[in-house]
Every structure is written in structure tokens, then in C-alpha cells.
Copies of this chain bind each other. A is one copy, B any other.
Amino acid sequence: MEQTKPEDKTSGDYVSGTASRRGKSGENVSRNEYYDMNNKHRGKALIFNHDEFESCLELKPRSGSRKDCASLQAVLQHLGFNVETFHNLYYSDIMKQMKHTAKQNHSKDDCIAVIVLSHGDSGVVYAKDTFYNLEKMWGHLSENNCPTLAGKPKLFFIQACQGEDFDDGITLSRHIETDGWYEPHMYSNEPNILVALATTPGYISWRRPTIGTPFIQALCKELYSASELDILSILTSVCHQVAVDYESDTSEPKKQVPCIMSTLTRRLVFTKKPDTMTSSLWPCI
């Protein structure tokens, strides 16, 4: 919806009673370019891990996902997050957890992080019993639903791809032809949201049973060591590692290309919290 109004005939520019610009036009407004990451707490990090599914869904166990969990727990604690991990929750329990989180007081927190590790399909991810739209997750943390997180960054890291495993005879082409995506209405006009997706829809995403997924492993490694970089630069490096380093050697190589979507309004740097981030060496958990 693009809005316009007739000219203000007096000034030549329209400065209306409908649209207000805080700060005069042309004024060099001083603003903090960075999110305040010096609150008492870093904030909560919720990990929803799914590696087993109800048999009716016909989804294979996601071997290797516990490795991703362990790496995420380590790096998020290193960054000062209060980490809670949930394994194989039913959809209703995920929503209960999100509602519960939204009702908590985050006023002394810097931010919040939510991580989903699961199978996915066109526009959705899987709980233990059913698929759901990722929009449900950030809907709970909107500025209206969770006012103590208003103005603070809400970070979503999604390792969830399209369909089942390649080696089970589910051909790539089926998925490549779909219009799958993590749903259109994911932002719903909310600022301060960052979503990092492991892969673009319908395309290859690797997972290795003993070392986890390249997206999560690269993310953890970069988060661990890049204490002075802002999150978008960190994620650009993650994109590089995954997109350049991982490629099928089929006749037409297939790449995994992570994707960042952001309505962040400031730069985000995980500045050091007391009693955390004691080492800059990734412990290779």
C-alpha cells in the first residue's frame, strides 16, 4: 500500500497530520546505530529440536540433530543466553511454550533467540505430530503480544528443509518444482526481526549423522569467534561457508544457499557479558 497525499501548497512538501516524521526533514538526527546489548541479561534462547516424528508423518529420524543441539547450546551459553532445549514437542506444546515466553518479562534482556531444527516442507516446518507455519513463532513475539521485547532484536535460526531425505527415493525434482518457501507473511510488519534460513526452498540441505548440519555448525563456529562483528556480517560469512563449501558432485552441482531476512533497525553485536565468552576458540563440540 503506497500512500500519497496532495501537495502542501504552502510549503511545496507534504508534511501532514497523517504522516509524521520525527525530526525535521534534513535534520541530522543523532541515533544509536547499535542495539543495546548491555542489559542485565542476554535473554532467552529456545531450541526446538526434532529428530523423531510420529509414524503417520512418514518422516525419517533426523540423525545428527543432537549434535547441532549440543553445538548451539554451547555457543549460546557462551554468548550469555539462558538456553532451554525442547526435544520432539507436539505442536500444541510448542505453541504453549511460545505463549508462556511471550508473557514473561524480558525488560532486562538484550534480545531473544529461537531455533528450530526439523524437517520442513513447502512453507512449513514439522513438530512431532504435524507441520505448522513458521509465522506462528514470531507472531507470539510481536511487539503487541510481547511488549517487553518491543524494540529488541528477535532472532530466528531455522534448520528445516523441503521434504524428506534424498536417499529415500524422494526425488529433488518434486521439490524443486514446488513454490515452497517459508511463508510470505512471515514479517507481518514487525521491525527488529531477523530470520536466517538454512537453505532456499526446494533445494539441497546437507545433514551428517555425526557432525550435524553445515548451516548450524557454521553458524555456531562464526558466532563463537566473531565477538566484534555484527550479526549480518556473521551470517554473510555463514552463507559463504555453506554456499561455497557444500556442493553435490552430480552432473549439475547443487548448492545449499542459506538466506537471511531482516527487518533489524540497528546493528547487532554480541558484546561481552561478564562471566561468559571466556575463550575465542570454538571447542569443536
Residue pair B2, A200 in contact (C-beta under 8 Å): no
Map CB proximity to B onto A1-39 as digits: 1 under 8 Å, 0 otherwise: 111111100001110011111110110010101000000
Does A261 count as interface, using CB distance less than 8 angstroms?
Answer: yes
Within 8 A of B (CB), among A146-188: 160-167, 170, 172, 175, 179-181, 183-185, 187-188
Does A265 count as interface, using CB distance less than 8 angstroms?
Answer: yes
Residue pair B191, A18 in contact (C-beta under 8 Å): no
Residue pair B210, A163 in contact (C-beta under 8 Å): no
Give Cα distance in the complex from A5 to B17, angstroms: 61
Copies assembled: 2
With beta carbons under 8 angstroms apart, the residue of B7, B29, B62, B264 that contacts A2 is B62
Does A259 count as interface, using CB distance less than 8 angstroms?
Answer: yes
Interface hub of A5, A31, A180, A232 (most chain B Cβ within 10 A): A232
Does A49 count as interface, using CB distance less than 8 angstroms?
Answer: no
Does A207 count as interface, using CB distance less than 8 angstroms?
Answer: yes
Residue pair A267, B181 in contact (C-beta under 8 Å): no
Q: Which residues of B contact A33 (CB under 8 A)?
A: 237, 240
Secondary structure dominating the interface of A: loop
With beta carbons under 8 angstroms apart, the residue of B25, B201, B259 that contacts A261 is B259
How many of A's residues come within 8 Å of B, CB to CB? 95
Residue pair B262, A236 in contact (C-beta under 8 Å): yes
Residue pair A31, B167 in contact (C-beta under 8 Å): no
Residue pair B262, A260 in contact (C-beta under 8 Å): yes
Q: Which residues of B contact A199 (CB under 8 A)?
A: 1
With beta carbons under 8 angstroms apart, the residue of B3, B255, B261 that contacts A166 is B3
Return A31 CB to nearest CB of chain B, in Å.
7
Interface hub of A175, A204, A208 (most chain B Cβ within 10 A): A208
Residue pair B209, A2 in contact (C-beta under 8 Å): no
Residue pair A246, B123 in contact (C-beta under 8 Å): no
What residues of chain A have their CB less than 8 Å away from a CB belonging to chain B? 1-7, 12-14, 17-23, 25-26, 29, 31, 33, 60, 62-64, 119-120, 123, 160-167, 170, 172, 175, 179-181, 183-185, 187-191, 199-211, 213-214, 230, 232-233, 236-237, 239-240, 243-250, 254-255, 257-267, 284
